[in-house]
Amino acid sequence: MTEPRRRRPPLAFSPLAALAALVCAGCSPLSNPADPDTASMPKGVGLLVVESDFTSSYVQAIDSDTHAIVGDKGKFIDRDPELRRLVDAAGTEHIFIVNRATGTLAEVDRAGTRVRTISVVDDGADPSSADPYDVAIAPDGKLWVTRYFQSTLLVLDADGTRAGTVDLSKLADADGRPEMSAIAIVGNVAYVALQRLSPGLGGSDPAPTDYSSIVTIDTQTTPWIPKFFQKLPVPTPRERFRRAAYGPATELWISCLGAPRSVPPSPGALVKIDTTGLADPQVILDGTQLMLNGKATRGFINGYDVYDSERGWAVVASIEDTANPTSVVEFNPTTRQIVTNIWYARGTFDLWDVALADDRLLVLDRNHLDPAIVVLDASDGSLIEPRITTTLPPVELVLLRSQN
């Protein structure tokens, strides 16, 4: 079911509107002049974006005060990067690029300059043997790193030295690997998503063997012991949890891929998790609702952002032979219905992530002939020129917000 399209009034600025909003009162602007491409960016909003063609990678930064662009800082990141912005208990920000192919964490500053690099590979092992997916910071400053190809989660002290590991093998499926993906820490408790796929490492098209799950770990009590928390209603949770800009801090959101190539296919979904355990995981947006090209799809969600109880946006992808279209849709998080089916569309998995910056949506367009950050009016989905061109296809972004 699709709700009728209607034009919305412009959104008022909310300091919580961007899931990855960065508040930094003492940051000095970059010395570069503003770039003409960034004229469509809201005042006081910048960003950091990682770009990759899965052969080489770049980091591009747009300063929040000057809108100057700093690019080509990616010599230290690999072909398959993830971007995370974290804040520790003291309020200090940390931006990490998770390098999956080479098994490292690269911490960078707001200009994308490397601060340090930390290996998450076991001693003597091949760099590709870890495949880190996600990282979180505990209240004591330790870094918790999920490693997709391993049965152990890695814990690092704040300075990057190894504090230990957490064995998740007993919560894995038959292949012994839990295929851990996203991690978030709420209070003192780590919530870890396990895909539980078969055939696991080396499989060209793995599928869920039974069900995917969330496990919990008390980060303050050693030895660290993982405990089953909840079964996910849809399999294959993706690389990171997010928090909505509204609702209690105990809620986590995650996109689940489903099993789009299984027979019969199982579509993906956007799932909301109550970390108090008082409610079961709730499917907010089901892949069976996602209609592209006038037909039902084996849909899943690449990226999403939620403004309030009535407005959210998702980048919807579907597997349709070789076409594999992607589009931006608006949805209502409370009614769990699509409001507007197609705002901006591309083919072959081109659209990758979306973030709300004040009254504008920033959409990562990975089209290899014309990669860019596309800017849309959040009121009606209309295109705002200019597009912000990127050197390589953009993969993930975090917003950088200034109080200066």
What are the mean pLDDT values of the chain's consecutive 10-residue runs (404 residues total)?
Answer: 34 36 38 76 93 90 92 81 95 96 96 95 95 97 97 97 97 88 97 82 54 96 97 91 90 88 76 95 82 56 90 82 76 89 74 92 91 93 92 93 70
User: What residues are paired with 183 via a beta bridge?
Assistant: 192
Domain contains 267:
yes
Number of structural domains, the chain? Answer: 1
Whether residue 368 lies inside any domain: the answer is no
In the prediction, which pLDDT does 368 show?
Answer: 84
pLDDT at 32: 60
Region for 274 from its dihedrals, namely left if φ exceeds 0, alpha if ψ lies in -120 to 50, beta otherwise: beta
- Domain of residue 187, residue span: 23-309+395-402
pLDDT of amino acid 12:
43
Residue 226 lies in a domain: yes
Instruction: Please check whether residue 330 lies inside any domain of the structure.
Output: no
* 282, part of any domain: yes
In a domain, 227, yes or no: yes
Does residue 342 sit within a domain?
A: no
The whole-angstrom separation of Cα 200 and Cα 252 is 26
Q: Which residues pair with 157 in a beta bridge?
A: none
pLDDT at position 294:
47
**pTM of the shown model:** 0.88
Give the domain CATH number at 31.
2.120.10.30
Question: How much is the pLDDT for 267?
Answer: 79
User: Could you tell me the two tokens for 213?
Assistant: 């799950």
Evaluate whether residue 153 is within a structural domain: yes
* Alpha-carbon separation of residue 90 from 72, 86, 143, 189 (angstroms): 31, 11, 14, 18
The pLDDT value recorded for residue 296 is: 46
Rounded to 5°, the CA angle 306-356-347 comes to 90
Q: What is the pLDDT of residue 206?
A: 58
What is the DSSP secondary-structure string of 25-85? TTPPPPSSPBPGGGGGSPTTEEEEEEEE-SS-EEEEEE-TTT-BEE----TTS-SSEEEEE
What pLDDT was estimated at residue 13?
36
Identify the pLDDT of residue 322: 61
Note whether 306 and 244 are within 8 A (CB): yes
What confidence score (pLDDT) does residue 126 get?
Answer: 95
